[in-house]
Chains A and B, each alone.
Chain A
Amino acid sequence: MDLKALTQLLGEKVKTDPVTLTAFSTDATPEFKATPEAVVFAESRDDVVKLIQFANENKVPVITRGAGSNLAAATVPITGGIILVMTKLNRILEISKSEMLAVVEPAVTNVNLDNAAAEYGLMYPPDPGSKTVSTIGGNIATCAGGLRGLKYGVTRNYVLGLEVVLGTGEVINTGSRMVKDVAGYDITRLLVGSEGTLGVITKATVALRPRPTISKYGVAYFKTLADASVAVDAIVGAGILPATLEFLDQVCINAVEKFAAIGLDTSAGALLLFGEDGDSDDVEIKTQQMADICANPAGVISVTRAKNVVEADQLLFARRCALPALAREASLAVSEDICVPRPLLAETVAKIAEISKARQLKIGVFGHAGDGNLHPKVLADINDPAEVARLHAALDDIFNLALDMGGTITGEHGVGIAKLPYLERKVGKEQMYLFRRIKSAFDPNGILNPGKTGS
């Protein structure tokens, strides 16, 4: 690559020093590392256009990156090339109360958008565990979910329109500010979850929702995660679609308690966090209903209701920290992201426990139980090659299990590099070919995040 020409084009926004390159050689995925040839900090859409035109002419890979908090190595530059960093494009351009929408630059974090919406009595519902750091652009690129998915849906339900730079350098505007708009193919939906392989998002119009004024939470402890899963199925089976239905197994409860120290019952085999939000007495009724349902299944240890907002926030915070907190338990901790149909949840978690036993590895399981979305985190000693090999075997078991259950290899983290080997089994050969044809329509020279989905 002609780095000099690139620097002439974009000046000091281009970094090629080894220190910067090193800092961008990884994202939040363990075990994946590759050093880029250059890093570009975009400060405007025009910077992105210039860079993509340059990369397209010179056939250089461009890997777009937000906060770098993704867990599937989607932003690791395995083919070399340029890391396009969006973090400086972090302004909220507009919040329209009457239209209930926001227009944002891609690197606005979830928490900043949600806080800004709160000033208008609104909220931005998708709230991944990493919401303090993850960006809306990254959320869209991976179709991030979060803790409120069951009731509110995930990122794809909130993207109204996008400004996108294609692999050719052309700029398109998809969708609009309206809820209804069926003029042409739904390119917006296609871009959601495309992991930077179809275009670079430079602006997003996202829907907001009225902010609930009341929220209530409770926590139930069970002997096993399978017992908790039975309660989850019973809750939704009773016609309740709560805002929060999250669980943690004992490995996770212990790790979280070590960090947050909020008095969780570390002797229990599983913790189920349930909660509802809204604006009426219905919130109280639903929360109590959930507490009552939890008190029934076999294996229940205790059910308590959070006394106040502080207590509820602590519980949510604890759940949110489960993923990184598990790093306390081992020097290598790989987090996965499978989804299974909810009625099969209990069977799935029981089978993960079997995998843990067979592979002689500790696996901490937590997840968005209501969505059937599990995050098994496999733990190993990074300095023990045999154990690391067993870890990979366990991950393979887990993906196969998910597919055997009619589930999926990723619910919200994305495919990236980590799960690419399993993609074909999930979607089939014909769809893989279709992915490639779609990719070449957006990015004929294959410069956008190559070696990943659609390549």
Chain B
Amino acid sequence: MNQNLPFTPKLLERCISCGYCLPACPTYVITQEEISSPRGRINLMRAVQIGELSIDQTLEQSSYCLGCRACESVCPAGVEYGTLLEEWRSAAWQGKNRNLILKLLLFAVNQSWRVRLLGIFNPRNFQKSKWNEYSIMLGCFERGLFPNVSAAAQKNLSINVNGNQGCCGALHAHNGELARGKEMAKKLGEQLPGKIITTSGGCAAHLASVIGKDRVFEYSEVLFNQVDLLKPVLINGEKARVALQDSCHLRHGLQIYQQPRAILKQIADFVELPGASDCCGAAGTYAILRARDSKKVFDKKAKEIEKLNLDFIISVNPGCTRQLATQLKRRKIKTKVMHIAEFVALSNSINA
């Protein structure tokens, strides 16, 4: 095998172009154009692989793709599109093709000490405790933007925290630095020996793909084991009305979507959001790098959320929390956005 090929040949061969992925792809649904579908993009990758197209010609599509991996869930042939996309961006997003904002974002989380700096105003950042079965992963941007999420998870599950930890490298892997992304995941696996709990669906999928699923657990997956002990979250004596926005990589990458629903059904008046498994447009750095497209992807979801008349829309990934909050606010929709760990903390039930 030629080591210089941008794509692993076996992964490219798997697609038979049946097109079952088309209706599942958010960008195809918007454009109805082949190039912005998973099948079309794989055709572009194939053309790059054999030199019919230059990698630069495919730059726009490599970035227009959300990387949500919804196509994987509906692909009977088992195409590993997420991995192909990582390879694509690693080949395409180099040199002059590298976005400046992206460079800054990746720089900020590249080293453990910088990640700690992100959460400098959070005292738990410096906490060091004895290792027990599970360690909690604090995340990188989550550490700075939503420190209450891991605090709530830590409380719900009474797990210990080790402040000296870096970023899992998902951002790198999804944004053209696959090798570095894998390295960072390995490093984090060393910093947090044993089993790792994360409150971020995207991180869970990436970390599990590198250090093994047997060591990585998403928060709701663990809490699910004690779902019967949870008490309801009440608003004026009534169960809060909530819906869930799936995390794409958690659902399509790790097939975890029933557990958070089971938890919410136990403690709230849960309603299924139509298209809950469709990407919200956060998609890691997408909401920052392609703000306009990200907003367009959210349009349908905004209407669906508004229609349900919810107290809370619950997320299982920090990027989704940010996207939901920003986009709902922009449209003056009053539904509150909360991460599932914080919502469970409201029920003030187990270990209380």
Enumerate chain A interface residues (CB-CB to B < 8 A). 18-20, 22-30, 41, 67-69, 85, 87-88, 90, 107, 109, 111, 130, 132-133, 256, 258-260, 321, 323-325, 327-328, 331, 333, 382
Contacts and interface: CB of A to CB of B under 8 A. Distances in A.
Interface residues of B, number: 31
A41 B31 CA distance: 11
Contacts of B10: 331
A323 B35 contact: no
Contact of B35 (A19, A28, A111, A333): A19
B331 interface: no
Interface in B57-103: 57-58, 60-61, 74-78
A29 B17 CA distance: 8
B304 interface: no
B83 to A, nearest CB: 16
A133 B71 CA distance: 13
Nearest to B17: A28
B16 interface: yes
A416 to B, nearest CB: 14
A325 B77 contact: yes
Q: Top 3 A-B pairs ranked by shortest CB distance?
A: A327-B77, A324-B76, A321-B76
A361 B8 CA distance: 25
Contacts of A28: 16-19
Contact of B13 (A26, A90, A382): A382
Interface in B17-40: 17-20, 22-23, 32-35, 39-40
A87 B32 contact: yes
A437 to B, nearest CB: 34
Given A69-B19, A133-B20, A333-B16, A22 B77 contact: no
Given A41-B33, A325-B77, A30 B16 contact: yes
Given A18-B53, A18-B57, A19-B53, A132 B34 contact: no
Nearest to B28: A87
Contact of A19 (B20, B32, B57, B76): B57
Given A20-B33, A324-B16, 11 more contacts: A22-B53, A23-B35, A41-B32, A68-B19, A130-B19, A133-B23, A324-B20, A324-B76, A327-B15, A327-B76, A331-B13
Contacts of B19: 28, 67-69, 130, 133
Nearest to A86: B32
Contact of A20 (B18, B32, B35): B35
A25 B77 contact: no
12 contacts: A19-B57, A19-B58, A19-B60, A23-B34, A28-B17, A29-B17, A130-B18, A130-B19, A325-B77, A327-B76, A328-B14, A328-B78
A328 to B, nearest CB: 5
B120 interface: no
